[in-house]
A and B are shown apart, each in its own frame.
Chain A
Amino acid sequence: MTMLAAQKRPIPRWKWLLGAAVVAIPLLLGIGLTKDPSFIPSMIVGRSLPSFSLEPLAGTEQVASEKLLGKPLVINFWASWCVSCRDEHPLLVQLGDRAELFDEFDIIGINYRDSPVAAAQFLDRQGHFPYPSGQDKRGRLGIDFGVYGMPETFFVDAEGVVQARQVGPLTPQAIEQNLKLIGAVR
């Protein structure tokens, strides 16, 4: 059709197609530029929290999901090898203090694919969390949550349903918005 369009039709069909391609391809690539190609939408949002029981990073009490039911919950995946975890560290410490003070929600950390020694050093350097962290040494809980980048934070409501996920460092805005979503702010 393209090759021998010998007839003198007004505008052959292939011209429309080619014209459309000239518009569509740059447009598509342009939209692509604005997106993050490694972004994966969360599958766990809208579902209930997977049950887990992890060894704590410090102390002896297991970090278990069943003890955390009935109250809004923030779960933060972090690791000592993760650079941007340092950025959100102070915010997390504040958030932990707030959870302790107002008792509106619980917060736990999950130390993801890390060695306890490196994690302890990280906390010594950056400041300790006022809440416990469980060890997910092999990253299995991370796979259950669909974690693909560090850090990631999940917001769970009082019914145990995951309502939101934050990929990358937390921001004050993201915290406020998501806490509202899980009913942790009156």
Chain B
Amino acid sequence: MVESLIKLGQLATSLALVLSVVAVAGATLASLRSSPAWLRTARNALFANLALVAFGCATLVWSFATLDFSVAYVAQNSNSQLPMIYRLTAMWGAHEGSLMLWLFYLVLLSAIAVKVHWKDHPLSMPWIIATLAAIQFGFLAFIVFLSNPFLTMTPALPDGQDLNPLLQDPGLVFHPPVLYLGYVGFAVPFAFAIASLIRTHSGAEWVRAVRRWTLFAWTMLTSGILMGGFWAYYELGWGGYWAWDPVENASLMPWLTGTALLHSMMAQNKRGLFRTWNVFLVVTTFLLTLIGTFLVRSGVLTSVHAFAVDPGRGAYMLGFLTVTMVFGYGLILFRSDRLLSDALVESPYSRESAILANNVLLLVAAATVFLGTLYPLFVEAVSGERLSVGAPYFNKVVVPLMLAVVFLLGIGPSIPWRKVEARRLSTMLRKPLVGGVLAVGVALIAGVRDLLTLSAIAAVAFAFSATLADIGTGIYARRRVTGESWLRAARNVLSLGRQRFGGLIVHLGIALIGAGMIASGLFQTAVTVSLKPGDSFELAGNVITLREVSDASGSNYQGRAAILSVSRDGKPLYEMQPEKRFYTVRSMATTEIAIRSSFSGDLYMIIGEETQQGGVTIRGYWNPLVSWIWAGWVVVACGALLSLSGTSRRRVERAAAVAAPPARGVPAE
């Protein structure tokens, strides 16, 4: 019965492969012959695929839940001792299942996009459907022929080989699903861009349609990346959250281009500018998500996070990537002349040029990450030599670029479109500049002398105060005009200008994240000591005492824990218990870090080698302001949600045509 269930899952997935071909063909025919019947067929095929793939995923999850070790993928990635929650999340714990999750998102978002935009974009719809279905085909063929998670084994193994211990963590429950949603989310803007290129439709209509999709994908990507950092921070145990590992870089590249896209889309939306550029950014962002997948899964680079390697898969993914690239960039090369915008940037002092500067910085950062990640490949291909490009390089090159972006983030939103007088600009910047100077003063008094550190502090403080000032001015102006209370004015301003204020709140969150990253990156204190029971050491004003080293085994691992008590000014505060574990089934060792978070920083303890006299080596870190990064993420998510909840421009226009003009004093969006 169970055996047949998983086979049904495979059948459903194979059927989805066939239907994706039907959808591509149907949509193409629909456009060429302007046949609504074919278009409906194509659409229904996409809807059917959602049901089929969802069913396929369900059979896989069911096999994990019931520990059906006759399914090879289940046997390789779970074990009878594995707790139930990790049995379910083990579905995306390795290559095949995680692709299935990816595919599920793709069919889900395709169906939603088609359903939502069916009426708005009748002429683009065939090409949107064709593009989405073609991407579905690419992933379905990959799964069915090269990465089949439904394969069964006879005889079934008596027990499974267990899930990778690093993945047995609450972080795995959220990080990959959210990150993949971010990646896949860019498929929808990609489909719209391709449709507009094929139709050589020059309008900003597609940009308006995909603004929310892009923002959604960006939010998910941001969240996924930060969750990954969070997970690395407390699971991998090296005191940091970002290592510039190739796989991390692979997720950062689409984030950088996606961020550029979010901003330059505004210029097209409002001013009809940058049309070709936007199409290029959409295509590039989507291609980078594919390149990311390729880098992680093909074994072309070594990475901590890489999946097991199979040469056939690498070749297939490269083929898929190449076809997408030739198609996407090819369309730009041959069609973009008809997409030229006749609008002009009217002044160097304008929102347009701020956006341009933002795009230049982000794109150079993305190009640098791309170059740094692939450079070892290039050098080996050319000369046979091997070199490494790692964290020290990226920190030196990318961090200054990002600081400039953060600085711009403070100015950008307050500059009006078209043109601003230089004098007005300088008045506008006065308040936030004071914020920046104050912060630098404090840092100087605290003894910071490093130029990069000081400029980082200045940039973040400037951006933060500029954004706060922007939000504050909006609320103040409304209050003055309407005479409402502060709270009411704030609520009204936020709900009336959701896009603008959502964006500002996102900026606020980014500044917080920047502050957290700068503080924890540049002011980390570390200490490595060898302790016997009863010994203490000091870290950031805390006295940490080793009480004992004891046994801490669990159902599927053997563990040792150091029990540390932390006190401050003679007052005992709490206990920390860093552990190391040995997972018996996979014979793999991991360390479990003990973290105590507070507003001002994290105390972070790692257990090292045990010494003969019942002692142990402890590596302790004081990571200042790390919690600001996670808090900043929450702020970013809130801002993005606010912005996403905003009514579409068209509806606003319709409403504006009927209702009275909007309240004065609210910055025009």
Contact = CB atoms under 8 A, between A and B. Distances in A.
Q: Touch between A and B in complex, CB under 8 Å?
A: yes
Interface of A: 2-6, 15, 18-19, 21-22, 25-26, 28-33, 35, 37-41
A28 B378 CA distance: 7
B302 A3 contact: no
Given A26-B322, A29-B294, A18 B329 contact: yes
A29 B321 contact: yes
Contacts of B330: 22
Contacts of B273: 3-4
B280 A2 contact: yes
B374 A40 contact: no
B333 interface: yes
Given A28-B377, A31-B377, A41 B298 contact: no
Contacts of B318: 26, 29-30, 33
Contacts of B298: 29, 33
Interface string B274-312: 101100100000000001001000111110000000010
Contact of A18 (B299, B301, B333, B374): B333
Given A31-B377, A32-B381, A3 B333 contact: no
B41 to A, nearest CB: 33
A3 B329 contact: no
Given A4-B341, A25-B325, 17 more contacts: A3-B273, A3-B277, A6-B342, A15-B333, A18-B333, A21-B329, A22-B325, A22-B326, A26-B325, A29-B298, A32-B301, A32-B381, A33-B300, A35-B380, A35-B381, A37-B299, A38-B302
A32 B314 CA distance: 10
Contacts of A29: 291, 294, 298, 300, 318, 321, 374, 377
B329 A22 contact: yes
B116 interface: no
A38 B380 CA distance: 12
B369 interface: no
A54 B409 CA distance: 62
A26 B374 contact: no
Contact of A28 (B333, B342, B381): B381
A35 B377 contact: yes
B386 A39 contact: yes
Contact of A31 (B302, B381, B385): B381
A33 B139 CA distance: 20
6 contacts: A4-B274, A5-B340, A18-B332, A32-B301, A35-B380, A37-B299
Contacts of A25: 291, 325
Nearest to B299: A37
Contacts of B325: 22, 25-26
Contact of B301 (A19, A37, A39, A40): A37
Contacts of A4: 273-274, 340-341, 344-345
Most chain B Cβ neighbours within 10 Å, of A3, A6, A31, A41: A3
A37 B300 contact: yes
B345 to A, nearest CB: 8
Contact of A26 (B276, B321, B356, B377): B321
Contacts of A5: 276, 340
A136 B658 CA distance: 85
Main secondary structure of the interface of A (DSSP, over half): helix
Nearest to A19: B333
B440 to A, nearest CB: 35
A70 to B, nearest CB: 33
Interface residues of B, number: 39
B315 interface: yes
B384 interface: yes
Interface string B353-396: 00010000000000000000010111011001110000000000
Nearest to A21: B329
A33 B311 contact: yes
A52 B359 CA distance: 57
A41 B298 CA distance: 22
A21 B274 CA distance: 21
A37 B342 CA distance: 48
Pairs of residues from A and B, 6 with the lowest C-beta to C-beta distance, nearest first? A26-B322, A32-B377, A32-B300, A3-B277, A31-B381, A37-B302
A32 B345 CA distance: 42
A108 B3 CA distance: 54
Contacts of A32: 300-301, 374, 377, 380-381
A33 B333 contact: no
A31 B377 CA distance: 8
B363 to A, nearest CB: 10
B469 to A, nearest CB: 30
Contacts of A19: 329, 333
A41 B385 CA distance: 7
A15 B276 CA distance: 12
A94 B593 CA distance: 49
A19 to B, nearest CB: 6
Contacts of B274: 3-4
Interface in B333-348: 333, 340-342, 344-345
Most chain A Cβ neighbours within 10 Å, of B311, B374, B380: B380
A2 B380 contact: no
B276 A2 contact: yes
Nearest to B315: A33
A31 to B, nearest CB: 4
A18 to B, nearest CB: 6
Contacts of A31: 377, 381
A128 to B, nearest CB: 27
A28 B380 CA distance: 10
Contact of A3 (B276, B294, B315, B381): B276
A33 B322 CA distance: 14
Nearest to A18: B329
A31 B299 CA distance: 12
Contacts of B381: 28, 31-32, 35
A123 B341 CA distance: 75
A19 B328 CA distance: 11
Contacts of B345: 4
Contacts of B326: 22
A20 B172 CA distance: 39
Nearest to A22: B329
Contacts of A28: 374, 377-378, 381
A176 B273 CA distance: 68
Contacts of B294: 29
Contacts of A21: 329
Contacts of A41: 384-386
B321 to A, nearest CB: 7
B72 to A, nearest CB: 21
Contacts of A26: 318, 321-322, 325
